[in-house]
Amino acid sequence: MLGFFFARIKTVPNHEREKNIGIAAFLNILFTFIELFGGIWTNSLAILSDALHDLGDSIFLVTSWIAERQARKKPDIRRTFGYQRLSLLAALFSAIALASGSLFILSQAIPRLLNPTPVYAEGMMALAIVGIIFNTAGLWRLKRGHSLNERVLGWHLLEDVLGWGVILVGAVIIRLSGLYILDPLLTLVYSIIIIIGVSRNLKELINILLEGVPAHIELDHVKEGLLKIPGVIGAHDLHVWSLEGETDIFTGHIVVEEKLLQDSDHTRQLIKEELTRHHIEYSTVELESKNFCSGVECRLPQPPRD
C-alpha cells in the first residue's frame, strides 16, 4: 500500500482536486449514516464495523478537502512552507479514530463469537449492494484526478468496495445456511485488517512528522548517485525529508573539484538533475572545495588517524 501511496504522479489544478475530494466526501458521509442505521436495523456488527471505517474515511476526506482549500494559500512569514502539512494532521486524526473505533468493535465482536445472535441477512445483502455502488461512485470520481491526496483516498474507497463484497458474500452464506457466527467472524477479520493497515500507515506518518527519510528514498543511493557526477569528490550533511508525503526536500554539502566551482550554476544543475532521478523536487545545495568544510559533520570530533 505504501508503494502505491508514494507513487509519483502528475498534478492537476488544485480546484479540480478540491472538487473531486468534496464530492467523494459527501458520498462517504451520506453512506456512513445509512450504514449506522443499517447496522442497527440488521443487528450486524460487520456492517457497524464498516460504518466505523467509513466514519474514519469521512473524517479524512473532509479534512483533506479543507487541506486542499488551504493549500491555495501562499507561504507567509510564519509558515514558509505553506499549509500542505494539514493533510498529515487529517491522516493522524483519521488513524486515531479508526484504531480506537476498531478496538471498541472488537470488544463487541468477541462475546458474539461465543454466543452468536441472529442477523437480518436480506438487509445485509441490500446494504452491501448499496455500499458497493456508493463507494464505486466515489472511487470513480477520485480516479479522474492525479494528485497523491486523491490517489490515497481512492485507495481507501477501493478497500471499502472490496470490504462490501466480502460482506455481501457473507450475508448470502448466512441467508442460505443460518451460520450467524459468520457476522462476528467477518467483524473480527475486518477490524484486525483495519488495525494492521492503520499501524502501517501510522509508522510512515510519524516518520514524515519527524522529518525522517521517506520510505521510497534510499539515502545511500542518493549519495552514490551524487558521487558519480564527474568532479564531485564528496558529500556530507545530507538531509532528505518530505513535506506531506508527496513533496520531497533535500539539503546537503557537496565537495567538488576547483574547476566545478568556477561554473557553479552548471554544477548545481547537474546535482539537481541527479536528485530528480530520486524523486526529489526541491533541493538546497552548498558547494565546497576539498579544503573547506562548513557542515555539522565538520564540527564533530574526528577519530584519530593512524
**Going by C-beta distance under 8 Å and a sequence separation of 6 or more, which residues neighbour residue 140?**
none
pLDDT, tens only, 164-196: 888 888 889 998 988 888 888 888 887 887 788
Q: Which residue has the cell 554544477?
A: 267
Residue 2 confidence class, pLDDT cut points 50, 70, 90: very low
> Which of 4-18, 204-218, 287-301 is modeled with the greatest confidence?
204-218
Q: Is 287 helix (H, G, I), strand (E, B) or coil?
A: strand
pTM for the full predicted model: 0.64
pLDDT, tens only, 45-89: 888 877 877 777 777 778 767 766 776 677 778 877 777 777 777
CA-wise closest residue to 92 among 213, 201, 214: 201
Map out the domains of the chain with their CATH numbers: 2-209 (1.20.1510.10), 219-292 (3.30.70.1350)
CA-wise closest residue to 167 among 220, 214, 120: 120
In angstroms, rounded to a whole number, what is the distance separating the alpha carbons of residues 206 and 192? 21
Q: How far is CA 233 from CA 41, 140, 181, 220, 256, in A?
A: 70, 50, 66, 15, 5
Q: pLDDT value at position 198? A: 79
CA-wise closest residue to 135 among 1, 9, 23: 23
User: 306, exposed or middle or buried, with CB in 10 Å at 0-12, 13-18, 19+?
Assistant: exposed
Q: Which residue has the higher pLDDT, 166 or 248?
A: 248
CA-wise closest residue to 256 among 281, 279, 235: 235
pLDDT, tens only, 103-118: 887 888 888 888 888 8
Tell me if 133 sits within 8 A of 28, measured CB to CB.
Answer: no
**Residue 152 pLDDT > 50, yes or no?**
yes
Tell me if 104 sits within 8 A of 45, measured CB to CB.
Answer: no
